[in-house]
Amino acid sequence: MPEGPSIILLKEEVQQFKGKEVVAVSGNSKIEQSRLLNQKVISFKTWGKHFLICFKEFTLKVHLLLFGKYLINKKKEQAARLSIVFDNGELNLYSCSVKFLDGNINACYDWSADVMSDAWDPKKAIIKLKKTPAKFICDALLEQDIFAGVGNIIKNEVLYRVGVHPESKVGKIPVAKIKEIVKEARNYSFEFLEWKRNFVLRKHWLAHGQKMCLRCNLPFVRKYTGVKNRRSFFCINCQFLYK
DNA sequence: TATAATGTTTGAAC
DNA sequence: AGTTCAAACATTAT
């Protein structure tokens, strides 16, 4: 479900509730649900994979993790983690993490680290990468402090597009190539957004889940890589190993 | 039916 | 005290 672009779509879909007051709350979440009652939604925001419902005094942070789902004006049979009812509809959240953040939301997040944000700052990402030369690039791309919103699919697609082996060491990758990776992390995320919006994301995957490399027709390597030990799909012919 | 998968936090073990 | 790592959580298609 998640990855940054999917959360942007969620934000778009709930705009009907902006400015609306919460009239009922339920669900199996252990948070103090009553806090939400009678509160008016000031705005919806996202930071990477975080979906943020901002109220006057606090923000509700929703993270869909790996299996999270949401339904708008619809319900599943299973109990919701949190169901937020407005007078014009409801938002139902399932198998996700929900938490309150107190105070000004801007104090909680560095918006410039979010690849989907207008405030995204590629230069900062490059500086952060330079500080961790020993890290594998496959791990670095998943670091939310550097590339908030990038998940495993985006990681695989970006590395294939720029021709970099996932087990390359950050410090061994030429600066020009690092810049390309940073640029593509944002660029691909926006393509992901439009494809996902139109339900055609999957058919545009060039690496993730693929068996053969379309460029050279060699079989992909499928391997759990990095300290994070996440699935990587790559072509040893088209993706250079900087080590 | 067992397994694996778009993710993160936690707390024990070093 | 800082790092590392396995476990926990949760869902569903194959």
User: How long is the CA A228 to C1' C12 vector, in angstroms?
Assistant: 23
By C1' distance from the Cα of A3, the closest nucleotide is B6
List residues, Cβ < 7 Å, touching strand B.
A 1-3, 6, 48-49, 63, 65-67, 97, 142, 144, 151-153, 208-209, 228, 230-231
By C1' distance from the Cα of A156, the closest nucleotide is B6
List the end-to-end C-alpha distance of chain A, in Å, as a whole number. Answer: 33
User: How long is the CA A215 to C1' B11 vector, in angstroms?
Assistant: 46
A214 is near strand C: CB distance < 7 Å: no
A63 is near strand C: CB distance < 7 Å: no
Strand partners, A60: A53, A100
User: How long is the CA A68 to C1' C11 vector, in angstroms?
Assistant: 8
Give me the tens of pLDDT residue by residue for chain A, a chain 243 residues long: 689 999 999 999 999 999 999 999 999 999 999 999 999 999 999 999 999 999 999 999 999 999 999 999 999 989 999 999 999 999 999 999 999 999 899 999 999 999 999 999 999 999 999 999 999 999 999 999 999 999 999 999 999 999 999 999 999 999 999 999 999 999 999 999 999 999 999 999 999 999 999 999 999 999 999 999 999 999 999 999 999
* pLDDT score for A2: 85
By C1' distance from the Cα of A67, the closest nucleotide is C11
* pLDDT score for A1: 64
Task: Tell me the C-alpha distance between A161 and A215, whole Å.
Answer: 11
User: How long is the CA A62 to C1' B8 vector, in angstroms?
Assistant: 12
Secondary element (H or E) of residue A60: strand A58-63
By C1' distance from the Cα of A208, the closest nucleotide is B6
User: How long is the CA A224 to C1' C3 vector, in angstroms?
Assistant: 21
CA dihedral sign of residues A155, A160, A165, A168: negative
Cα-flanking dihedrals φ and ψ of residue A113, to 5°?
Answer: -90, -5
Bases in strand C with any atom closer than 7 Å to a protein CB: 5, 9-12
Bases in strand B with any atom closer than 7 Å to a protein CB: 5-9
Token reading at A140: 């670095």
Residue A232 near residue A158, CB atoms below 8 Å: no
pTM: 0.96
A202 is near strand C: CB distance < 7 Å: no
* pLDDT score for A77: 87
C-beta atoms surrounding A233 within 10 Å: 25
